[in-house]
Amino acid sequence: MLSPAQREEFEMRGVVRLPEAVEPRAACAFAERIRAFVAEKKLAPSGIGQWLAVRASSTAPLAKACRFADLWGPTVLAALDDLLGPGRWEIPEHAGQVLALTWPQPGQTWQVPDKVWHLDYMAPGAARGLPGIQAFLCLDRVESRAAATLVAAGTPRLIDALRLGKGSAWEGRSADVRKALAREAPWFRELTTVRAGEDRIARFMAKPTEFGGSRLQVLELTGDAGDVWLMHPWMLHAPSANCSERPRMVLTERIRALSAAGG
């Protein structure tokens, strides 16, 4: 179960970290299977490029060979029950999807991106209740500036108010949400605009900005093997560059609620 503090964190910021929610040895064993698979299939990319990676589709057989409940375990299942309600979501059959293994490029300069913020779920005006949760499992240590998923913490609350104001006919597509939020929230408008000489890391990550009842801040979903992040479905998020010395290894799954109309 989530603690009261964890529940409040999710409700206020749209994301919560569950340290060692998955047995670390199980997470590390899965990471080892990935390494062996990549070596056997000779999938490791070569060359230089910010988004050099082993595609998620290439490692799909590994996740399909593992049952969701067996890997993610009772702590994560109980947390999903807390957020979505027991019996209001269906346990996926397979473990999920291994995110693209973003390859290390230690010589790069890491920066907060401006162009790739998006939603994976639509945010329609007709939705009632959470349409789901996206879960991330660190299979290996994910350090800062090592291709961790970036989230615009606090944006789910703004998007919820935005979609309700648009009415039930509003579809809430990712591009439409971005445009509407950029018009109404100066912080997000600045996040998606590069300004000469600005220190974007200091501006968007050092401390939160209060706006519309939300604390807006860019966070990295970092952690140790076995750590799990649960993310609100209306969280704007983005990929980041890998300036470390090893590939980013994270498993993800989108959990969909059974009864959120319009989700």
- Give residue 206's region: left, alpha or beta (phi > 0; psi -120 to 50): alpha
Whether residue 241 contacts residue 105, with contact meaning beta carbons closer than 8 Å, is answered with yes
Closest CA to 206 of 214, 197, 215, 196: 215
Q: What is the CATH number of the domain that holds 32?
A: 2.60.120
Q: Is residue 123 part of a domain?
A: yes
What DSSP line would sit under 43-88, residue for residue?
Answer: ----S--TT-EE-GGGGHHHHHTSBHHHHHHHHHHHHHHHHH-TTS
Say whether pLDDT at 263 is over 50: no
The pLDDT assigned to 260 comes to: 56
The pLDDT assigned to 154 comes to: 98
Q: State the pLDDT confidence band at 243, using cuts at 50, 70 and 90.
A: very high
Domain count along the chain:
1
Residue type, 72: W
Tens digits of residue pLDDT in 90-128: 999 999 999 999 999 888 899 999 999 999 999 999 998
- Distance CA(146)–CA(140), nearest Å, equals 11
Tens digits of residue pLDDT in 133-178: 999 999 999 999 999 999 999 999 999 999 999 999 999 999 999 9
- Distance CA(21)–CA(226), nearest Å, equals 6
- Distance CA(2)–CA(9), nearest Å, equals 10
Closest CA to 253 of 58, 97, 140: 97
Tens digits of residue pLDDT in 69-84: 999 999 999 999 999 9
Q: Is residue 243 part of a domain?
A: yes
Domain residues for the domain of 61 are 4-256
Say whether pLDDT at 60 is over 70: yes
The pLDDT assigned to 261 comes to: 46
- Distance CA(144)–CA(16), nearest Å, equals 17
pTM attached to this predicted model: 0.95
Q: Is residue 263 part of a domain?
A: no
Q: Is residue 261 part of a domain?
A: no
Grouping H, G, I as helix, E, B as strand and the rest as coil, residue 217 is: strand
